[in-house]
Structure 1
C-alpha cells in the first residue's frame, strides 16, 4: 500500500464482509512481501518474553513499546520507547486510520505453532486497535452475546494484512485466535484513550 494514499482509496481495497462487526475494517496486502520479511526479522530479534497475565504465563511471547498493561497492578506502566524501525509502518497505519490518528502503544507478538489467544477485549486504556499479520494466516474470531446465544464472525487474517477495530468491534465484541497452524508474528498498534487519537 502506498504511504499517504487517500482514505477512500484505501477503503476501496477492503472486501465487503457479510455479518462483520460494526467498526471492523480489513485491508489485505497492506505491506509488501519484502517489508513483511524485514518486519519478521526485526520482531524475531527482539528480547521477546512470555506473556504475563498476573501470576499466569502465556505461551505466546511478546515485547511492549510505549506502554505495557500490568495485570497484577491493573494499570498501565511505561515501556521501552517505540523503536525507530517501526516508524515507517506506523506512518502507514496512521494514514490508514484517518485524520488525527496517533499510535501510542505497540505490541509485538510471536505465536509458535499450536499457540493462540483466548476470548478478550483490549483494555479500556486503549482506543482504536490495528493488527498487522506476519508469517502465516490465522482465524481472527469475534463473538458477542445475543440473548442466550452468541453472534459470531470469523475473519481470515492473511499474512501482510491489516485489520482495524473501532466502535462496536472494539467495545462490544470479544475476539480470539485459535491455535495457529504455523509460526506467526503480529504487530498490534493502539491509540490511547484521553489522548489525541
Structure 2
C-alpha cells in the first residue's frame, strides 16, 4: 500500500505496561454517552454537533497522566506545540466512526491518535480524487496526521467486528483511542 503524504505511523509507541496503566486510569474516569460510543474530554470539550470549540469549553489543564503522554509526543518530535486537548474514544466491536476531516477552524495542523486495546483498520479517502488507502493500527501505536494527511484525506473506521490483516481475519475487541490536538481559539 502506498503511503499517505505527511502521515506518521509509529508501532510500539507505548510499552505494554504503559498501555495497561493508561487503560486503568481511563476506565477509572467518568465516561460521557453523548455519542454512539463513550467519550471523555480533557483540556477543552469539543462540541460534535456544532463542530466548534471556544474559550467557554475549557475544562482545565490536561490531567497528569494525559500531560505525560502529550509530553512524549512532543519530545519525540511528533507535535510542534505541546498538545492541550484530548478526546478519549471507546470503540466496542462493531463500532466505528464515519469519514471526516477533523474540524479545521478548531484545531492546529497536527493530530495524533494512540490505539489502546484492539487493533483496527483506519480507512483514508482523498477529498479531491476519492482515492482510498488503509492503515492497520496496531495496539500501542500512534498515528499522526499533519499537513496533507490532516487536511486532504478523510479518515474513518468501519463499524465491523473484524479486519483482514495479511490475509487473515482478526477479530476486534474493545479499542480505546487517545486523540491529542491543539485548540485554535479566536479564529
The TM-score by the shorter chain falls in which range? 0.7 to 0.9
Partner of 2:36, secondary structure, is strand
- The runs of at least 4 aligned residues of structure 1 exceeding 6 Å deviation read none
Alignment TM-score, normalising by the size of structure 1:
0.79
How many pairs are equivalent? 170
**Two-structure CA RMSD over aligned residues (Å):** 2.0
Kept after mapping to 2: 8 A contact 1:144/1:172: yes
The answer on 1:90 being equivalent to 2:73 is: no
Alignment TM-score, normalising by the size of structure 2:
0.83
Kept after mapping to 2: 8 A contact 1:114/1:182: no
Which structure shows the bigger proportion of residues in strand conformation? 1
Partner of 1:75, secondary structure, is coil
Given the alignment, which residue of 119, 123, 130 partners 2:112?
130
Matched with 1:8 is none
| TM superposition shift of 1:45 | 1.7
Given the alignment, which residue of 44, 49, 53 partners 2:32?
49
Structure 1 pair 102–194 and aligned structure 2 pair: CA distance change class (3 A): farther
Mapping 1:157-172, distance limit 5 Å: 157-172=137-152
Kept after mapping to 2: 8 A contact 1:141/1:153: yes
Structure 1 unaligned segments of length 5 or more: list them.
1-17, 52-57
Aligned-partner Cα distance in 2 for 1:73–1:28: 34
Kept after mapping to 1: 8 A contact 2:51/2:103: no
Structure 2 unaligned segments of length 5 or more: list them.
162-171
